[in-house]
Chains A and B, each alone.
Chain A
Amino acid sequence: GQNIDQPTEMTATEGAIVQINCTYQTSGFNGLFWYQQHAGEAPTFLSYNVLDGLEEKGRFSSFLSRSKGYSYLLLKELQMKDSASYLCAVRDSDYKLSFGAGTTVTVRA
């Protein structure tokens, strides 16, 4: 089966940086996605990594190491609106996405 682990909760201060780690063990690998989900809303796409390295998109960056089965999502200059759940998802050898349980990030003033 697929195993995707990420921390349950994280708390940080407005303006700070938070790093959400995700480790995975899957039968295949065709890319890793990060989604953001505010309470009561749809998950929205943040990033996609298929090659090793860092992808930067404004305040958000995502890193992948395929040999280590590891990714992280880096949120910089945290804002109150960044309080949400962050979902790590791995595409295995076909079209299926396997999700982690999500990390709830709380940003405090």
Chain B
Amino acid sequence: ETGVTQTPRHLVMGMTNKKSLKCEQHLGHNAMYWYKQSAKKPLELMFVYSLEERVENNSVPSRFSPECPNSSHLFLHLHTLQPEDSALYLCASSPGLAEYNEQFFGPGTRLTVL
């Protein structure tokens, strides 16, 4: 059982909908991440939070809005998405930002935008 959980596991939404993805880590970590994984493409880092402060916003469109209310929870709020945003969205956490820290991934949310 992974220490990082994500809900929902699957989401289908229209371009005008508003939805949120949730990530929770039970590992006592201080850093959390959002990645996008499209078919046959490398994982793309979207956002990084350390101690609930955003430290990275990797040129992500404003239709994606992250929220980190505490060090255990991370949300990704979605609105007016495009079909090309369909992908697997992975959350990860690590003890801190130090270079030797491995990242622990959740199972992902498979998003389909119609």
| Contacts from A to B (Cβ < 8 Å) | 4, 8, 30-31, 33, 35, 40-45, 48, 50, 87, 89, 91, 94-102
Of all chain A residues, the one with the shortest Cβ separation from B56 is: A96
Known A42-B108, A45-B102; contact A100-B4, beta-carbon cutoff 8 A: no
Check A50 against B105 for contact (C-beta < 8 Å): no
Known contacts A42-B107, A101-B40: does B100 contact A50 (CB below 8 Å)?
yes
A81–chain B nearest beta-carbon distance, Å = 17
Across-interface contacts of B108 in A (CB, < 8 A)? 42
Interface of B with A (CB < 8 Å)?
Answer: 2, 4, 31, 40-43, 45, 48, 55-56, 90, 97-100, 102-108
Out of B40, B48, B104, name the residue touching A95 (CB < 8 Å): B48
Distance (whole angstroms) from the CB of A38 to the closest CB of chain B: 10
Tell me, in angstroms, the Cα distance from A45 to B90 when the chains sit together.
Answer: 14
Cα separation A76 to B2 with both chains bound (whole Å): 25
**Given A42-B4, A100-B42, A101-B41, do A95 and B97 touch, yes or no (CB 8 Å)?**
yes
Does the CB pair B2–A42 fall under 8 Å?
yes
**How far apart are A103's CB and chain B's nearest CB, in angstroms?**
11
Minimum C-beta distance from B110 to chain A (A): 8
B43 lies within 8 A of A87 (CB): yes
Q: Nearest chain A CB to B22's CB is how many angstroms away? A: 15
Which residues of chain B have C-beta atoms less than 8 A from A102's C-beta?
A: 42
Q: Which residues of A contact B4 (CB under 8 A)?
A: 42
**CB-CB nearest in chain A for B55:** A95
Which B residues touch A33, using CB under 8 A?
Answer: 102
